[in-house]
Structure 1
Amino acid sequence: MLYLHPFYQPGAQLSLNLRSCVDDKTERNVQATVAKAFTPFTMSQVLLVDINPPIPDILSGAKTSFVLKVYDPRFLQHRKGTKSSAPHPWTLKAETTAARRRAFGATTFLPTWWPDDADAAGWEEYYFSNLQQLFTNELAAYTRLLPLQGRTIPHCYAHGTLALPVAAARAVAPRVLLLSYVPGPALRAVHPARIAPPVVGALVDTVRAFGALGVIHDDLRPDNIVLSPTDAVARPFVLDFGNAEVRRPDQSDDEWELTLAENNEPKQVEIMLDSLGVQHLAT
């Protein structure tokens, strides 16, 4: 049976310090109730939460259910170990040591390095830095893709931190994103015959729009594409921008066009649709 920390069990109360993704000048403390955990967790922890009463100056007044993404390094699946890495269970002591090193500028961590297995604090820094980067990538991508929010990607309503209770004191404050909930099955779970040409066309157009707006998704796969609503399969929504590459301010048009051509995400979508048996026009 899958173990869920009490933070993430249905009915758990979470305290969030949030700023609007559109205007982040004012921070608000918001109370959320966990309705469901989307497990298994891999990188971020993804939850369906209820917020009631609504917070009109940050959230849509018409909605009370949202997706909460928590970037807490404590619950990364990688900690359990891989074929090339031993298990690295979380401890407060190692997390605190890593935080102290960061505070004094004593870390030499690079995202491409794996620490020695015996370096518990080094692994905490590795996990912390990776999740901070995922959060930064995702927030930057949603900011760039504002014209697509609510149409073919979720709304990004707010960002901030998880306010942990005193009894669960930590050396880090996990970052969070609050997104709109998009109900519907993943692309992989839908029979190809039910996916109409306009849906396929909308998916390809969306991926092209990413590039035009300065974003490469870099993790396009059937599990990150939801067809909504469940009973009609009317529109594709692309999720999970943690691996996204966002155009740098100093990149010229020619440099960005070369980056887009090297990645060629519309072609990746075509290959993915072929693998699923979905009919499409050549992109």
Structure 2
Amino acid sequence: MIYTLTCNPAIDKTASLQSLQVGALNRLENVVISAAGKGINVSKTLHTLQQESVVFAYLAGNTGQYIEQSLLEMQLETKAVWVEGSTRTNLKVMDANTHLTELNERGPHIDSEKQLEMQALLDANIQCSDLLVLAGSLSTGMDSDYYAKLISHFAKKGVKVILDADGNSFKHAIKEVPFLIKPNAFELCQYMNVKETNDPITLAKMAKELMATGIAMVVISMGKDGALFMYEDQVIYAKGLQVDVKSTVGAGDAMVAALAYAIENKLSLEQVAIQAMAISAGACTTSGTEPASKEMIDTLVQQVVLEKIEV
């Protein structure tokens, strides 16, 4: 079973316009409102793939109730820890040149008691050999080593943890050796304290250093330039797909969903790469954080080009 945890969910309001004018009136078009947050987005995509998953999330207030109801309507099993305040609402605006501007609120405060309540809820459900996806930002009141502690706890139980985080959360978490990490090129270079690059060989060499610590799989997203997939001694570079981009919001989450799906179904690394690229690119063709249709994904699967790399 696949479980996703969203520590800082949101109602995402995604919109488009020709050009964002700072300090002036902007009229938004194509406004889409979605229950979101990285873990939730992962579960939504898994649902499209007809893969069962369970959503764990901290929810609060009327916005939290909206998210819970939205997930219920999607027939996504949801287990929530309710906290004081309100779940955040985020505004994401994309212009005609696909430049994305995000205005994200801070999440509600989550104290240690509520964190322990979530820990107990996770423990009561997650079993050995399950997959746990830890994705996205932490809410206020949560220490930056929150993911690290969860990885340490569940790795001892034989749970495979997929990590998609950045900043200090990423720095602390990878020390506890999750099964899979999915940084983008910028995040990996930032962690390794080197100049940003999208060169596959350079990125693969850095990733191998992390794999030497025991991390089983590393996937590095490179935006329009594609992605790297590394497992054991295999390194595969997948070229970016050309699609009609409506929104890049949620594309990374769609890739994480594809990775979870592939691991759960024991696909080869080549199949992992093909599914991840098609599903991620498909997410860019939809408005907001909504996943692509199965038909769109099947079409994009045929367009994925892979290249094996020696490092």
TM tier, shorter chain?
under 0.3
TM-score, length basis structure 1:
0.27
